[in-house]
Amino acid sequence: MYVASRMRSQNKKSQVEIKLLLYQAFLFICKMIEPDPILIQSLLFQHLDTNIITEVLSKSNLRQYAPGSILIKKGTAPQALYIVRKGRVGIYIEDVQLAELGELSIMGESLIADETAIATTIALTEPELIEINKEDFYQLVLKYPRRCTVLKQSGS
């Protein structure tokens, strides 16, 4: 029983290592985003297969913003889904800060519901954001509808 349990544990570890290696290979080839094992732990990627994660990242951009930059304006439809890779952003209604988001936080989720933002998102530091364009995101949803229903549930 101990041996079987240990083998299952090693198998899970091997799967994670394989996923990480594939992710690192993809990033090296694309030279888009430096290898970051923490990034694949984002809520956005938790229930997705490696090939889908690779495809999502291949369609994404890494952008850095200056402090004070408006990332998403209240009442507008986000043009991308964002993952905070580094730095901090604030969520505001009028001049009141409701929340501060950091590493691995997802923003622009109103894009998933095709609605407008209910708050303004502003860069507090010089955040690095991974941006997944709205059209690319919708193409992925059409291509992987079963996988992306998990995204819609986790984004609402």
Q: CA-to-CA distance for 102 and 132, rounded, in angstroms? A: 18
Question: CA-CA distance, 148 to 155, in Å (whole number)?
Answer: 10
In this predicted structure, what is the pLDDT of residue 56?
Answer: 79
90-146: pLDDT as tens digits: 999 999 999 999 998 989 888 877 889 999 999 999 999 999 888 888 887 788 776
- Determine the pLDDT at residue 54: 78
Whether pTM exceeds 0.85: no
The C-alpha atoms of residue 75 and residue 95 are separated, in whole angstroms, by 15
State pLDDT tens for residues 19-72: 665 555 554 444 444 445 666 677 777 777 777 777 778 888 889 999 999 999
pLDDT tens-digit map of 75-88: 999 989 899 999 99
Name the residue with tokens 């990480």. 20
82 token code pair: 């964002």
